[in-house]
Protein backbone atom coordinates (compact mmCIF):
# COMPACT_ATOMS: atom_id res chain seq x y z
CA UNK A 1 0.00 0.00 0.00
CA UNK A 2 1.35 3.44 -0.87
CA UNK A 3 2.24 5.74 2.03
CA UNK A 4 -0.55 8.18 1.21
CA UNK A 5 -3.08 5.33 1.26
CA UNK A 6 -1.72 4.19 4.63
CA UNK A 7 -2.15 7.69 5.99
CA UNK A 8 -5.73 7.88 4.78
CA UNK A 9 -6.46 4.50 6.33
CA UNK A 10 -4.89 5.66 9.59
CA UNK A 11 -7.03 8.81 9.57
CA UNK A 12 -10.14 6.68 9.17
CA UNK A 13 -9.02 4.32 11.90
CA UNK A 14 -8.61 7.16 14.37
CA UNK A 15 -12.32 7.93 14.02
CA UNK A 16 -13.61 4.40 14.37
CA UNK A 17 -15.45 3.15 17.39
CA UNK A 18 -17.95 4.87 19.62
CA UNK A 19 -17.75 8.59 19.07
CA UNK A 20 -18.23 9.17 22.79
CA UNK A 21 -14.86 7.50 23.34
CA UNK A 22 -13.01 9.68 20.83
CA UNK A 23 -10.62 12.18 22.37
CA UNK A 24 -9.57 15.57 21.04
CA UNK A 25 -6.27 13.88 20.20
CA UNK A 26 -8.12 11.31 18.04
CA UNK A 27 -10.21 13.97 16.32
CA UNK A 28 -7.34 16.38 15.70
CA UNK A 29 -4.82 13.75 14.64
CA UNK A 30 -7.38 12.35 12.20
CA UNK A 31 -7.65 15.77 10.54
CA UNK A 32 -3.91 16.20 10.43
CA UNK A 33 -3.35 12.70 9.08
CA UNK A 34 -6.00 13.20 6.40
CA UNK A 35 -4.23 16.34 5.25
CA UNK A 36 -0.88 14.58 5.08
CA UNK A 37 -2.51 11.78 3.11
CA UNK A 38 -3.49 14.31 0.45
CA UNK A 39 -0.15 16.09 0.65
CA UNK A 40 1.74 12.88 0.00
CA UNK A 41 -0.69 11.75 -2.69
CA UNK A 42 0.00 14.89 -4.70
CA UNK A 43 3.74 14.61 -4.15
CA UNK A 44 3.83 10.94 -5.12
CA UNK A 45 1.76 11.55 -8.22
CA UNK A 46 4.08 14.35 -9.30
CA UNK A 47 7.33 12.51 -8.69
CA UNK A 48 6.06 9.45 -10.55
CA UNK A 49 6.75 11.46 -13.68
CA UNK A 50 10.45 11.66 -12.85
CA UNK A 51 12.29 8.90 -14.66
CA UNK A 52 15.04 8.41 -12.14
CA UNK A 53 13.78 6.26 -9.27
CA UNK A 54 16.69 7.27 -7.05
CA UNK A 55 15.89 10.99 -7.33
CA UNK A 56 12.17 10.89 -6.59
CA UNK A 57 12.49 11.26 -2.82
CA UNK A 58 14.79 14.25 -3.27
CA UNK A 59 12.34 15.83 -5.68
CA UNK A 60 9.54 15.17 -3.22
CA UNK A 61 11.34 17.22 -0.58
CA UNK A 62 11.02 20.32 -2.77
CA UNK A 63 7.31 20.64 -2.15
CA UNK A 64 6.19 23.41 0.19
CA UNK A 65 2.87 23.39 1.97
CA UNK A 66 2.17 27.11 1.58
CA UNK A 67 3.02 27.21 -2.11
CA UNK A 68 0.86 24.17 -2.78
CA UNK A 69 -2.04 25.86 -1.03
CA UNK A 70 -1.66 29.10 -2.96
CA UNK A 71 -1.38 27.32 -6.30
CA UNK A 72 -4.48 25.29 -5.49
CA UNK A 73 -6.37 28.43 -4.47
CA UNK A 74 -5.48 30.09 -7.76
CA UNK A 75 -6.73 27.09 -9.67
CA UNK A 76 -10.27 27.66 -8.40
CA UNK A 77 -10.15 31.42 -8.94
CA UNK A 78 -11.93 31.96 -12.25
CA UNK A 79 -10.24 35.36 -12.55
CA UNK A 80 -6.84 33.66 -12.69
CA UNK A 81 -7.60 30.65 -14.85
CA UNK A 82 -10.34 30.31 -17.43
CA UNK A 83 -9.12 26.98 -18.88
CA UNK A 84 -10.55 27.53 -22.38
CA UNK A 85 -11.18 24.28 -24.17
CA UNK A 86 -10.89 22.12 -21.08
CA UNK A 87 -13.40 19.34 -20.57
CA UNK A 88 -15.73 20.91 -17.99
CA UNK A 89 -16.26 17.62 -16.19
CA UNK A 90 -12.54 17.02 -15.79
CA UNK A 91 -11.99 20.64 -14.82
CA UNK A 92 -14.65 20.50 -12.12
CA UNK A 93 -13.11 17.34 -10.71
CA UNK A 94 -9.67 18.90 -10.65
CA UNK A 95 -11.05 21.95 -8.86
CA UNK A 96 -12.74 19.67 -6.34
CA UNK A 97 -9.39 18.06 -5.57
CA UNK A 98 -7.70 21.46 -5.25
CA UNK A 99 -10.47 22.76 -2.98
CA UNK A 100 -10.21 19.71 -0.77
CA UNK A 101 -6.47 20.19 -0.44
CA UNK A 102 -6.79 23.85 0.52
CA UNK A 103 -9.51 23.24 3.09
CA UNK A 104 -7.63 20.29 4.56
CA UNK A 105 -4.42 22.26 4.93
CA UNK A 106 -6.15 25.05 6.77
CA UNK A 107 -7.96 22.56 9.00
CA UNK A 108 -4.74 20.72 9.67
CA UNK A 109 -3.16 23.94 10.84
CA UNK A 110 -6.05 24.54 13.21
CA UNK A 111 -6.00 20.95 14.44
CA UNK A 112 -2.25 20.84 15.04
CA UNK A 113 -1.61 24.29 16.51
CA UNK A 114 -4.78 25.95 17.75
CA UNK A 115 -5.56 24.39 21.10
CA UNK A 116 -8.51 26.72 21.63
CA UNK A 117 -10.39 25.16 18.70
CA UNK A 118 -12.51 22.23 19.82
CA UNK A 119 -13.23 19.56 17.23
CA UNK A 120 -16.46 17.59 17.03
CA UNK A 121 -16.81 14.13 15.60
CA UNK A 122 -18.60 15.17 12.41
CA UNK A 123 -16.13 17.98 11.78
CA UNK A 124 -13.24 15.55 11.88
CA UNK A 125 -15.14 12.91 9.96
CA UNK A 126 -15.91 15.45 7.26
CA UNK A 127 -12.24 16.29 6.81
CA UNK A 128 -11.30 12.63 6.52
CA UNK A 129 -14.23 11.99 4.20
CA UNK A 130 -13.20 14.95 2.06
CA UNK A 131 -9.74 13.48 1.69
CA UNK A 132 -11.18 10.09 0.80
CA UNK A 133 -13.53 11.71 -1.71
CA UNK A 134 -10.64 13.67 -3.25
CA UNK A 135 -8.57 10.49 -3.57
CA UNK A 136 -11.41 8.84 -5.48
CA UNK A 137 -11.91 11.84 -7.73
CA UNK A 138 -8.19 12.15 -8.42
CA UNK A 139 -8.04 8.55 -9.53
CA UNK A 140 -10.49 9.33 -12.33
CA UNK A 141 -8.56 12.28 -13.74
CA UNK A 142 -4.91 11.64 -12.87
CA UNK A 143 -3.89 10.96 -16.47
CA UNK A 144 -5.59 14.07 -17.88
CA UNK A 145 -3.35 16.84 -19.17
CA UNK A 146 -4.75 19.53 -16.90
CA UNK A 147 -4.35 17.25 -13.89
CA UNK A 148 -0.70 16.66 -14.73
CA UNK A 149 -0.22 20.38 -15.35
CA UNK A 150 -1.67 21.02 -11.88
CA UNK A 151 0.87 18.67 -10.33
CA UNK A 152 3.79 20.44 -11.96
CA UNK A 153 2.41 23.83 -10.96
CA UNK A 154 2.55 22.82 -7.29
CA UNK A 155 6.30 23.39 -7.51
CA UNK A 156 6.12 26.76 -9.24
CA UNK A 157 5.55 30.06 -7.48
CA UNK A 158 2.61 31.87 -9.14
CA UNK A 159 3.52 35.02 -11.01
CA UNK A 160 1.25 38.00 -10.36
CA UNK B 1 -30.22 28.76 1.74
CA UNK B 2 -32.75 26.83 -0.33
CA UNK B 3 -30.22 26.15 -3.06
CA UNK B 4 -28.03 24.45 -0.47
CA UNK B 5 -30.49 21.61 -0.19
CA UNK B 6 -32.50 20.06 2.63
CA UNK B 7 -29.34 18.68 4.24
CA UNK B 8 -28.43 22.14 5.51
CA UNK B 9 -30.08 23.27 8.73
CA UNK B 10 -28.11 26.42 9.44
CA UNK B 11 -25.17 28.40 8.13
CA UNK B 12 -23.03 30.92 9.96
CA UNK B 13 -20.08 32.79 8.56
CA UNK B 14 -17.09 34.73 9.77
CA UNK B 15 -14.75 36.94 7.77
CA UNK B 16 -11.30 36.48 9.24
CA UNK B 17 -7.82 35.71 7.88
CA UNK B 18 -7.01 32.08 7.25
CA UNK B 19 -4.12 30.25 8.89
CA UNK B 20 -1.71 31.71 6.35
CA UNK B 21 -2.98 35.21 7.13
CA UNK B 22 -4.77 35.60 3.79
CA UNK B 23 -8.28 37.09 3.46
CA UNK B 24 -10.88 34.41 4.03
CA UNK B 25 -14.46 33.67 4.96
CA UNK B 26 -15.30 30.70 7.15
CA UNK B 27 -18.66 29.02 6.73
CA UNK B 28 -19.95 26.89 9.57
CA UNK B 29 -22.63 24.59 8.28
CA UNK B 30 -24.95 22.54 10.47
CA UNK B 31 -26.28 19.44 8.73
CA UNK B 32 -29.48 17.56 9.37
CA UNK B 33 -28.77 14.37 11.28
CA UNK B 34 -30.23 12.21 8.52
CA UNK B 35 -27.72 13.69 6.04
CA UNK B 36 -24.73 12.53 8.04
CA UNK B 37 -23.57 9.14 6.85
CA UNK B 38 -19.97 8.00 7.03
CA UNK B 39 -20.03 6.63 3.49
CA UNK B 40 -21.56 9.64 1.75
CA UNK B 41 -20.52 12.56 3.95
CA UNK B 42 -17.61 13.60 1.71
CA UNK B 43 -19.82 13.74 -1.35
CA UNK B 44 -22.60 15.61 0.46
CA UNK B 45 -20.31 18.29 1.84
CA UNK B 46 -18.45 18.60 -1.46
CA UNK B 47 -21.71 19.47 -3.20
CA UNK B 48 -22.58 22.01 -0.52
CA UNK B 49 -19.14 23.61 -0.78
CA UNK B 50 -19.53 23.89 -4.54
CA UNK B 51 -22.84 25.73 -4.15
CA UNK B 52 -21.00 28.38 -2.11
CA UNK B 53 -18.15 28.54 -4.61
CA UNK B 54 -20.36 28.67 -7.68
CA UNK B 55 -23.24 30.84 -6.50
CA UNK B 56 -21.68 33.20 -3.98
CA UNK B 57 -18.30 33.40 -5.76
CA UNK B 58 -16.58 34.74 -2.63
CA UNK B 59 -13.17 34.77 -4.30
CA UNK B 60 -14.26 36.67 -7.39
CA UNK B 61 -16.77 38.95 -5.65
CA UNK B 62 -15.00 39.72 -2.38
CA UNK B 63 -11.44 38.45 -2.68
CA UNK B 64 -12.14 36.03 0.18
CA UNK B 65 -11.20 32.37 0.03
CA UNK B 66 -13.97 30.24 1.57
CA UNK B 67 -13.33 27.56 4.17
CA UNK B 68 -15.90 25.17 5.55
CA UNK B 69 -16.59 23.35 8.78
CA UNK B 70 -19.51 20.97 9.16
CA UNK B 71 -21.35 19.66 12.19
CA UNK B 72 -24.56 17.78 12.67
CA UNK B 73 -27.67 19.00 14.49
CA UNK B 74 -27.23 16.32 17.12
CA UNK B 75 -23.83 17.60 18.17
CA UNK B 76 -23.74 20.08 20.97
CA UNK B 77 -22.26 23.31 19.66
CA UNK B 78 -22.12 25.91 22.41
CA UNK B 79 -19.58 28.08 20.62
CA UNK B 80 -21.13 31.40 19.55
CA UNK B 81 -19.69 31.13 16.05
CA UNK B 82 -21.93 28.08 15.48
CA UNK B 83 -25.13 29.70 16.72
Whole-angstrom CA distances from B58 to A2, A7, B66 are: 36, 32, 7
Quick check: ipTM above 0.85?
yes
Contact at CB, B70 and A122, closer than 8 angstroms: yes
Residue B65 with chain A: CB contacts under 8 Å: 73, 102
Q: Which fold has domain B2-82?
A: GMP Synthetase; Chain A, domain 3 (3.30.300)
DSSP 8-state code for residue B79: S
* Shortest Cα–Cα distance, A95 to chain B (Å): 10
How many independent structural domains does chain A possess? 1
DSSP 8-state code for residue B54: I
Question: What digits encode the pLDDT tens for the residues A123-160?
Answer: 999 999 999 999 999 999 999 999 999 999 998 876 66
pTM attached to this predicted model:
0.93
What CATH number should be reported for the domain holding residue A76? Answer: 1.20.120
Question: Is residue A144 in some structural domain?
Answer: yes
Give the residue among A136, A139, A77 at the shortest CA–CA distance from A102. Answer: A77
Contact at CB, B46 and A107, closer than 8 angstroms: no
Hey, is the C-beta of B71 within 8 angstroms of any chain A C-beta? yes
Domain map (residue ranges) of chain B: 2-82
Contact at CB, B45 and A126, closer than 8 angstroms: yes
Q: Do the bridges between strand B8-15 and strand B65-72 make them parallel or antiparallel, or are there none, so unpaired?
A: unpaired
* Shortest Cα–Cα distance, B39 to chain A (Å): 8
Hey, is the C-beta of A54 within 8 angstroms of any chain B C-beta? no
* Domain ranges, residue A57: 3-153
B68 touches B52 (CB < 8 A): yes
Percent of chain A scoring above 70 in pLDDT:
98
pLDDT in tens, chain B (83 residues): 558 889 999 999 999 999 999 999 999 999 999 999 888 899 999 999 999 999 999 999 999 999 999 999 888 677 777 87
Hey, is the C-beta of B75 within 8 angstroms of any chain A C-beta? yes
Amino acid sequence: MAYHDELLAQAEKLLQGDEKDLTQADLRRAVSTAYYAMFHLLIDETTLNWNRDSSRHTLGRMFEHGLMRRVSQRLVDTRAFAFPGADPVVLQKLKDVAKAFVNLQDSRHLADYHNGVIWNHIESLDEVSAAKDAFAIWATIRHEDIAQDYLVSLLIKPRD
Amino acid sequence: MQSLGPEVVRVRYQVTPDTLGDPAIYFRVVLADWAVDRETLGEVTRKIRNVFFDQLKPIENWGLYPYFRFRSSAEHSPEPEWN
